[in-house]
Amino acid sequence: MRKLYIDTANLEDIKKINSLGVIQGVTTNPSLISKEPKQNFDALIEELAKFCNEENLSLSVEVFASEPDEMLKQARDIHSSLSKIINTDLLRIKIPVGFEELRVIKQLSDDGVSVNCTCCFTEQQMQLAAMSGAKYVSLFYSRLRDTSGNPAEVLRRTRQFIDDNDLDCEIIAGSIRSQGDVSGAWSHGCDIVTCSTAVIKSMTNHPKTDSSVEGFLKDFNNWIK
């Protein structure tokens, strides 16, 4: 099943897009959090967790520590506090990929925490993270393309690796900037695309749709006179 998540920490945007019935989850990151009015971090993520639990939406919350041992502590603290608010089947803790971070991913996974390994740009990063126990691996699709990388090929190779090894891991494509990126990422093997309200809105747009509707209404209104 291909899924669509919204990439934001803005609750009003989440509510608006969720009301359309098109998303199955929410992803956040420290930069998205920083776009919200300055407030208590715990209060913000608890508010998101409450809504996501009510609506059966998955929620990814990223650690903001830079050292692996601190990441592990922060991940456990976030998971412990939010598990009182949201079903842990819906809760994912985001850990950026890295050599030392693999140990964090392994330990959290062994503890039963669903890890979304993020900031991935290569199939090797996603393959190792998946083998370490990450339930989700997140490719930064457009940022990779910005550096002349080939996100389609990275997705295809990661998909093949996960399927060949029967790993319990889903591929998320983030850093999505257009409706073309959404369909491209899905077509190249990712399970989940996460993108902004603006990109989701753009997926409904086409100039010929507008002109077709206008033409129908013009013809009909001329006839009904």
Residues at the site binding ligand E4P, with contacts judged by CB under 6 A: 7, 27, 29, 31, 118, 138, 140, 142-143, 174-175, 194
* Gap between the Cα atoms of 10 and 67, Å rounded: 27
Q: How far is the CB of 62 from ligand E4P (least distance, A)?
A: 7
Residue closer to ligand E4P (CB basis): 180 or 215: 180
**For tokens 């994912």, what's the residue?**
92
Q: Which is nearer to ligand E4P, 72 or 195 (CB)?
A: 195
Shortest distance (Å) from residue 175 CB to ligand E4P: 3
State in angstroms the smallest separation of the CB of 60 from ligand E4P: 7
State the residue number with the nearest CB to ligand E4P: 174
> Closest Cα to residue 131, out of 149, 153, 112, 158?
158
Considering beta carbons, is residue 86 or 176 the nearer one to ligand E4P?
Answer: 176
Chain centroid to CA 75 = 18
3-state DSSP call for residue 156?
helix
Catalytic residue flag (residue 94) = yes
* HEC letters along 43-74: HHHHHHHHHHHHHCCEEEEECCCCCHHHHHHH
Residues marked as catalytic = 94
